[in-house]
Amino acid sequence: MVEPVVPDQLLPGKKDAGLEASRSLAALEELERKVQEFLRDDKSAKLDTKRLASLKSLLELVGSAEQNFKLKAEFERERQENAILQEVSRRLSSAAEIRDVLRAILESLRQVVEFDAAGIFVFNKEMQQIEVDMLAGYGGAQRRRVYTKFQEGVKHGEGIVATVVFSGKPLYVPDVKSDLRYVEVRPTTRSELAVPIFVRDELIGAFNLESDKVDAFSERDLRTLMTFASHAGVALERARADRERQHTQRIAEELALARRIHTSFLPKVMPQFAPYDLGGMNFPSSEVGGDYYDFVRITDDDLGIIMSDVAGHGVAAALLMANFRACIRIESRAHYAIKTILERVNEFLVETNPPDSFVTGFYGVLNRKFNVLTYANAGHNPPVVLRKGEVPHLLEVGGPILGVLPDAKYEEAQIELMPNDIFLLYTDGVTEARDEHDQEFGLDRLIELAERHRNLSANELARRISHEVQSFNAPDSTMDDLTLSVVKYDATDPH
Amino acid sequence: MKLKTTETNGIYLVEMSGKIMGGPESAQFHDAMKHAVANNLKKVVIDLGGVEWMNSSGIGLLVSAYTTLKNAGSEMKLARTTDKIQSLLVITKLNSVFDSHDSVENAAKSFN
């Protein structure tokens, strides 16, 4: 008998075209040997050697014809496969939707490998779940089963696909009924072939084929599946890069929008409020922050002064800031007491705010007839009044931060302003700027700086301080929003 | 930011250390609070002794923890607030809202 070729451990019982050819050749040789034996042993052979020779050459012809046929079939299959792979590559380069590409890969594969069901699985290691999948040949209920079985399989290390995802090696199960790792999804499945999908060196999933026949797949099928799996890997990688690019783009667009919103809320020109000189400056951080300052004309003699900081950055902070701004601008014109205004703003923000965001805010009303500032500070860095020859006055009276405590109460206080007083408001981006030694800029430095440049106009002073803070900040440290405003009681103003 | 949680004698101790600046790291802290609520842990102590730096996002974390726990009928105490945190609590006037203690033991004792 012809010795069977030792089966590959992975692929017992190959039905490869090459193997078939070598089998027929071996059979031919065996036949020839037997004939020669016959001729040698039986001298009285009646067989016509001539006829035998021609029979032999005929047999050889048949054999080579058979072999040619097989080679041709193999060549044909290779040609077809190449054409299909080219088509797949073409689709890959045409930035198609990932699911379309995966579907195309499955359809193309069907033209070269016979199977009854197939699946492309992408495994998200962090999430321990399927990210993208493409299935063929599974019924509706079976589809859900594929999901749950794969999920469970991944958790418990069961199932052919999960085994491949864990080992990173191809696996062929010629008879699923005799393999303990197999988990049934399709009752008719008899054999299964699964290969890993790699993106560069990272294992990202598996590609599996199922057949209703026992031992349906050959080594050739395995090679083909691996080629298709590598194409699926390329497609998935491209899809991932696309997703990331889109995500980055979307974030950039959102930030640009938030930045526009933010900028549009800040005062463009300072109101005229003689004898007071008003100035302000805002440098948003690279992320969009939520600093907001404003001067609101309430009556001819009353000016609302707002300085605030929304905790957090980005679109959420910009929205919260928009909320706060709308609210305080409305309330400020309603002639309530300042503490009441803050209570109402707080109430509104508590209702609308996510729990871990809040606003620190200062609100004051400056009356230029009596030169009195009435204010309440809701958890904001205390603004300072700098008066020659006196220690700085910190305006701390008020209550807690806005937007978190439902029944927060606020107090208000008054301070009379004197000619040449500098009233300085700022956010923590100023005082918490840090140098390369991790030292904070701090309030003392800010006060000292403002005193030193007290002769500058309000706007120039604000610009000067911003400049100093920016150069103080260590180049590699992240910069918070930097906002300050200045109100100068200009004694020289003839008002 | 680093976080370590332990449960002893009915006290859920959350030890925070490093720089607390909000961002993606906050998820861990939120998870700890969710754990406290889900397991009906009524006495929560946040130990801030190892915190090197905290900004307003860190305050946001404490505030949200305070609200979450309060709504669930639990109580939160702060222990070993550093000077920096203390000054933030003074500015934000949360020092009148949060109950701070100089040690974890004192914080634990202060529950009714």
Render pLDDT for A200-243 as a digit per residue (tens, 0 to 9): 888 888 999 999 999 999 999 999 999 999 888 888 888 878 88
Range A266-489 classified under CATH 3.30.830.10: no
pLDDT, one tens digit per residue, over A231-260 is 888 888 888 788 888 888 888 887 787 778
Task: Name the A residues in 418-447 with CB < 8 Å from any B CB.
Answer: 428, 432
Neighbours of A233 (CB within 10 A): 22
Q: What percent of chain A has pLDDT over 90?
A: 40
Q: How far is B17 from chain A (nearest CA, A)?
A: 17
Cα–Cα distance between B41 and A384 in angstroms, integer?
Answer: 43
Residue A309's closest chain B neighbor by CA?
A: B56
The answer for residues whose C-beta is within 8 angstroms of residue B11's C-beta and 6 or more apart is B43, B44, B45, B108, B111
Task: Identify from B93, B95, B97 which residue to disrupt to test chain A contact, counting A C-beta atoms within 10 A and taking the largest count.
Answer: B93
Hey, are the CB atoms on B26 and A356 less than 8 Å from each other? yes
Q: How confident is the model at residue A193 (pLDDT cuts 50, 70, 90)?
A: very high
Closest CA to B72 of B104, B110, B17, B33: B33
* B59 contact residues in A (CB cutoff 8 A): 311, 358, 401
Give the 3-state secondary structure of residue B35: helix
Q: How confident is the model at residue A161 (pLDDT cuts 50, 70, 90)?
A: confident
Q: How far is B89 from chain A (nearest CA, A)?
A: 9
pLDDT, one tens digit per residue, over A269-320 is 899 999 999 999 998 776 666 889 999 999 999 999 999 998 866 677 777 8
Would the pLDDT of A413 be above 60? yes
Would the pLDDT of A489 be above 90? yes
- The domains located in chain B, with CATH, are 2-109 (3.30.750.24)
Architecture of domain A6-263: 2-Layer Sandwich (3.30)
* B67 contact residues in A (CB cutoff 8 A): 355, 404
Average predicted confidence (pLDDT) for chain A = 82
Q: How far is A189 from chain B (nearest CA, A)?
A: 43
ipTM: 0.86
Average of per-residue pLDDT across A415-435: 94
Cα–Cα distance between A319 and A298 in angstroms, integer?
Answer: 25
Residue A361's closest chain B neighbor by CA?
A: B92
User: Which of A174-178, A262-266, A417-421, B58-62 bottoms out in mean pLDDT, i.e. has the lowest?
Assistant: A262-266
Residue A310's closest chain B neighbor by CA?
A: B56
Q: What is the pLDDT of residue A40?
A: 63
Beta bridge partners of A279: A486
Residue A411's closest chain B neighbor by CA?
A: B93
Neighbours of A213 (CB within 10 A): 14
Six-digit token pair at A224?
């083909």
Q: What is the pLDDT of residue A93?
A: 56
User: Which of A137-146, A222-231, A288-297, B93-102 bottoms out in mean pLDDT, i.e. has the lowest?
Assistant: A137-146
* B57 contact residues in A (CB cutoff 8 A): 311-312
Map out the domains of chain A as residue ranges. Answer: 6-263, 266-489
Evaluate if pTM is beyond 0.95: no
Six-digit token pair at A281?
């400056």
Q: What is the pLDDT of residue A58?
A: 64
Hey, are the CB atoms on A356 and B64 less than 8 Å from each other? yes
Q: How far is B94 from chain A (nearest CA, A)?
A: 6
